[in-house]
Structure 1
Amino acid sequence: MLVLGIESSCDETGVAIYDTNKGLIAHTLYTQIELHAQYGGVVPELASRDHIRKLTPLILQTLKESNIDRKELNGIAYTAGPGLIGALLAGSSVARSLAYALNIPAIGVHHMEGHLLAPMLEEIKPEFPFICLLVSGGHSMLIRVDGIGQYKLLGETLDDAAGEAFDKTAKLLELGYPGGPNVSNLALKGNTERYKFPRPMVDRPGLDMSFSGLKTYTLNTWQAAVKDNDATEQTKADICRAFELAVADTLAIKSKRALEQENLNRLVVSGGVSANREIRSKLDALMKKRNGEVFYPRLEFCTDNGAMIAYAGAQRLAAGQSNDLNFAATPRWNLEDLAKI
């Protein structure tokens, strides 16, 4: 089954073609980073307009590069949520219209299911069941996964997600957009011993997380440095290092608890923040100590992309699931509500 996947939930326009027999055929990605950088964050209306401009050329480019005629497609998958409503509608309307014109089925994919299943695009795939740590700009979640559509939410962030905290930290330190990679790169120059930031909510039971207080702690530390005439680039690097270590340790502690609670020893880590070097290092060390397995998507599939949507949608289309013409974008969508395959 040949499936075209379309991702447009936020500030990246992704298109891919996935074959249920041959695997991933092709994928293209356009990022809006330069567009939003001048504003220090994503502007929803501008994001929606840019998706509209880029979607058709990207679809045509992907088909051409893979030497596939659109009439050969057997189905179309598109991100239906969660995400920015205008951006979701841009992708949904193009996907649903193309499916109607070609008289093939289409299905709306849960964006977080796409991230969760992204490691399945790799040659070595995780077996079910496993614990998934899903960390992105808008979500930080621990999920037990027993199969596609068989998800149990174990814990989530109560306020800022890890990626959001990275971006806000970058903004208050004036590191530019996108914030996460800038914080991580500057942290490489930081002194590990200078600052010790708290590990939020690790001193209480449960698997929920919170990163808003850590962001505030970062702000207070920086303001104290400014007051002491120590607002140097090295101080920024030291703060970034302390912040990144605190996030990585917190995620590792919570992941360990989830594995122990569910009596599992297989961990999948996905979402944009899963590309972070320190977080990967901490989780690698955790699973090595436990003699367990840890799986990540390749770096290009950590952030939003069409390949993960094509894969997730292909599994559901192959199982006979599809959506009718009355499509709807779903900015908020409970992962546990998805149908089983």
Structure 2
Amino acid sequence: MSIVLGIETSCDETGVGLVRDGVLLGDALASSMDEHVRFGGVVPEIAARAHVASLVPCVREAMAKAGAKPEHIGAIAVTAGPGLATALHVGVAAAKAYAAAWGVPLYGVHHLAGHAAADLLEHGALPARSVALIVSGGHTSLLAVGDLARDEVVHLSDTIDDAAGEAFDKVARIIGLPYPGGPSIDRAAREGDPNAIAFPRPLTGPRDPELGFSFSGLKTAVARWVERCESDGRPVPVPDVAASFQEAVADVLTSKAILACRRQGVDTLVVVGGVAANSRVRSLAEQRCAEAGITLRVPPMRLCTDNGAMIAAVGDLLVRAGAEPTGLHVSARPSVVLERAQLV
């Protein structure tokens, strides 16, 4: 079985991975996060320029780690969407160039399918049916997942406004913590009381969609609480706010994920995406899955955030399934909805 080289450039991280028969052989990652900090969020043009500078060195580094040469590469997989348009174009253009130069097939891959596939590199093949909770800066979704290479992905729910990761960034800004908000809030929350402030649990009422997500209102509730605290002349208890907000997010994510498993009649939950690295989300998911008799699968921390290994993992699945390559006509699709792992 030949090696699949995966390229990921959907946001601010340039990722390259090499996978063969479900095994990660080598990978490399370069982040432009430090260049975005002063803006409080990712600037697409800065991200794209960073991808241009980092992609070839990342390919060389990943191949060196794997002990691979161009003649060992049997296919290229690349994130074709969703993501920042300018960033995606860099990766797609590079993937086309490598595929053409090395004479190998090219597969366009959906970014979110990559997150789901990241777990395979740690825990092996998924069962025939499972539920995936994908939770990141731009996405919060519950999916019914089967064979990623062959089956359609069924959306059970998607957030109607801010994704969980986006809410972390905005709340961090409100309470004066640095970007990116997820790690900052996680660190601050360790010194706080998660029960100090009764922040709302969005879309958990009897008339709300039982699997629905919405985090904009929770972010606003935090902002209003901080405003009242400041107007009363009281110092904002940042650790308590961070811990209470984090607890609200983790509570909603994990309770709805468990409910989705029950509704689907499955006994495996896969939690992936950048927010899957959050310590409270992981611990509460472990607790609730154990209580419900559900097997929890979460990738290691370094495979939760965007990376090239997860894209190579999807490409590897497609090659082994005998999928027809996407070909050099593949283009960036910034807003594409996940229906299948391969984008054609």
TMscore range, shorter length: over 0.9
Match for residue 229 of structure 1?
A: 233
Equivalent AA in structure 2 for residue 326 of structure 1: H
Counterpart contact for 2:110–2:340, Cα < 8 Å: no
Contact 1:126–1:295 (CA<8 Å) still a contact in 2? no
* 1:116 CA drift (Å): 1.1
3-state SS, counterpart of residue 339 of structure 2: helix
**Which residue in the other structure is 2:327 paired with?**
324
Could you tell me how far 1:206 is from its partner in structure 2?
2.7
Q: Which residue of 1 aligns with 2:19?
A: 18
TM-score where L is the length of structure 2: 0.95
Q: Residue in 2 aligned with 1:51?
A: 51
- Identity rate of aligned residues, in percent? 38
SS of the aligned residue for 1:321 comes to: coil
CA distance in 2, matches of 1:328, 1:139: 21
Kindly report which structure 2 residues correspond to 1:36-47, keeping only aligned pairs within 5 A, or say none.
36-47=36-47
Residue-by-residue CA offset, 1:149-171 (whole Å, 9 max, x unaligned): 43110011000000000011111
CA distance, structure 2, for counterparts of residue 69 and residue 124 of structure 1? 26
State the Cα RMSD in Å. Answer: 1.5
Change (3 A) 1:193 1:207: closer
Match of 1:206 in 2: 210
CA contact (8 A) 1:155 1:206 kept: no
Asked if the contact 2:137/2:164 (under 8 Å) is kept, the reply is yes
Query: 1:131 aligns to what?
Result: 131
8 Å contact from structure 1 (residues 133, 268) kept in 2:
yes
Q: Deviations along 1:177-215, whole A, 9 cap, x unmatched?
A: 111110111011112332111100011243111000000
1:307 aligned residue: 309
3-state DSSP of counterpart to 1:288: helix
Once structures 1 and 2 are overlaid, which stretch shifts more, 241-250 or 203-212? 203-212
Any residues of structure 2 matched to 1:1-150 within 5 Å, and which? 1-20=2-21, 23-148=23-148, 149-150=151-152
Hey, what's the Cα distance between the residues in 2 that align with 1:125 and 1:99?
27
Unaligned stretches of 5+ in structure 1? none
Moved more, 213-222 or 318-327: 318-327
Post-superposition CA distance 1:234-253 (Å, at most 9, x none): x1111111100100111122
Structure 1 distance, partners of 2:193, 2:317, is 46
Whole-angstrom distance in 1 between the partners of 2:234 and 2:245: 18
Distance in 2, matches of 1:75 and 1:174, equals 46
Which residue of the partner structure matches residue 280 of structure 1? Answer: 282
Contact 2:110 2:342 in 1 (8 A): no
Shift of 1:63: 1.6
Contact 2:123 2:297 in 1 (8 A): no
Task: Report how far residue 338 of structure 1 moved.
Answer: 4.8
Where 2:76 maps in the other structure, the secondary structure is strand
Aligned positions of 1:167-182 closer than 5 A:
167-182=169-184
TM-superposed deviation, 1:124: 4.9
Instruction: After superposing the two structures, state which structure 1 stretch, 75-84 or 251-260, moved more.
Output: 251-260
Distance in 2 separating the partners of 1:67 and 1:221: 54
Deviation at 1:315, TM superposition (A): 1.3
- How far has the Cα of 1:46 moved from its partner? 0.4
In structure 2, C-alpha distance between the alignment counterparts of 1:312 and 1:338, rounded to whole Å: 7
> Is residue 222–residue 231 contact of structure 1 (8 Å, CA) maintained in 2?
no
Alpha-carbon separation, structure 2, partners of 1:126 and 1:324 = 27
Q: Higher mean Cα deviation, 306-315 or 323-332?
A: 323-332
Rounded Cα–Cα distance in structure 2 between residues aligned with 1:262 and 1:8:
33
Runs of 4+ displaced beyond 4 Å? 337-340
CA distance in structure 2 between the aligned counterparts of 1:327 and 1:127, rounded to whole angstroms: 30
- Aligned partners of 1:71, 1:54: CA distance in 2, in Å? 22
Number of residue-to-residue matches in the alignment: 337
| CA distance in structure 2 between the aligned counterparts of 1:320 and 1:339, rounded to whole angstroms | 9
Whole-angstrom CA distance in 2 between matches of 1:177 and 1:95: 30
Following TM superposition, by how much is the alpha carbon of 1:324 offset from its aligned partner in structure 2, in angstroms?
A: 2.1
